Structure 1
Amino acid sequence: MKKILSIAAAALMVLSGCNGDKLKQAESLNGELNDSLHVALANQDSLLVLLNDITDGMNQIKDMEKILSNTSDLNAESASRKAQLRNDMSAIQKALQERRERLAQLEEKLKKSQSYSGTLQRTVENLKAEIANQEATISTLRNDLAAAKIQVADLTTRVDSLNTTVAAVTEERTLAQEQAIAAENELNTCFYAIGTKKELKEAKIIETGFLRKTKLMQADFQQSYFTTADKRTLTTINTHAKKAKVLTNMPQDSYVIEDVDGIKIIRVTNAREFWSRSNYLVIQVD
């Protein structure tokens, strides 16, 4: 009996002829690794949700900036409308504080996990800077709104200064958004390798032997042998071979192997599920 156990981004063990004790040890190890993987994926999902929330905050602040940058429109606003603006600003400030606390909690979890990379660290720092930037902008807008209620004439002069500040903030925000997009692209990066059994062994991607367990992707495997791709756009992989099989433990219901003119094609039917266990895909061809 042959049972396939997965090791995400570290090791995949194919068990053949193992005794009962070894099977139990392997199952225990697989369970621990699956738990670690689920935690890592949950942390990454939380980071992406936080990215979206902060982007929403940017849009809300931008709308308020438009209102306060036009003196005539601001003067025409009713007392109730200005009160609503103040309430909206307070709500945004509260949301920013909550996001700051969520980010601190997420950073603590990431630091304790094995998935905390340099890219994730830079992403966390960028999000901290963006939250601080938004808090400073809201504070400025609250002051401008208060001044408009007391002395409208003085607001005209300060709008010029506000416009200069907005331009600087916009530039910083654009940079932060670009860095956030780069980080999101990094989170969606995947890798795949196609080769014969001999080629995969030479690249140290698999290790086999007579009556010995097959090991996949040991510490010294050749990263350069893998092709880099994007999980969001990689839907089909042409193996250019008549026979092909997936060695990594991708969920079987997330892909199909099709025959097109005698050539095997790997077609991903559920990308999220397909890459849920590992960012690496190994395909053996004959």
Structure 2
Amino acid sequence: MKKIFAFIGLGALLIASACGNKNGGQVDSDSMRFADLTSEYNEATSFNDSLMLLMGDIYTGLDSINAQEGLLYSQGGDNVDRRAEVRQNLENIRARLNANRRLLADMEAKLNSSNNKNAVLTKTISQLKAHIEQQDQKIARLEADLSKTKGELEAAHGEISNLNTQVAETQEQVKVETAAKEQAQQQAIEAENEANRVYYCIGTNKELKKNGLLQKKFLGATKVMQGNFNSSYFTKADKRSLTTIPTGGKKVKIWSNNPAGSYQIVDNADGTKTIKITNPSQFWGRTPYLIIQIN
């Protein structure tokens, strides 16, 4: 999960990089923009690698604290030498914890001062800061327990065991609820994508007839998409992002029921035509299909 979270952080940071710092007005602007993005990518990768390493060290610190807790509460935990060992180990862990706290603060300051504001990375850093504070509190509790008698230590351990059981049950419930929430969110995304899915095809009159999209009987009107037709002949698209469709033809006719005022037929320099959708909601309001005949 830690690696996945860090990977998500990198993807989100790269997306933010791609949306920032526009560089235009120069002859070689595309090349310069590519260089800028490469630099931003390298910076994002370096930042993310550092965050992953720090995250791993923080979670290792938690394992170390748990190990000292096991030593203290296990049989013989009231031994003077054992307690001295645990006390020294906790001091070392706290020193490392303070170093990680400073490193995390530096990374947070760097992220806040950069142009690439990223909510995911900010949230990750906040969560790591919370982990550090929790570990600090646990060290303080263990240090306090070092001065307790054997009986007091056993009583404290029993209370902690009950608390840990409750925490584990709560965490399991959170996992179940989180999984259900993620599934619902994914289903909502899929439903939205399906609602915005449209289909278009481009072909000659002969090709459109061959695929069952046009039917013409002698002296009869041309029928559009009536009866069986080849659905694989269509190209799938998202109407939220589909704004222009190069046809490759010099003459264009739209057979589907798309309102005339919702699009334009634009002339290209090579003499071919491009369909420019000017009002997507109106254009796709009657049908999700677009049939373009070219000559």
TM superposition score normalised by structure 1: 0.49
Structure number with higher strand proportion:
1
Answer 1 or 2: higher relative contact order, Cα 8 Å, separation at least 6.
1
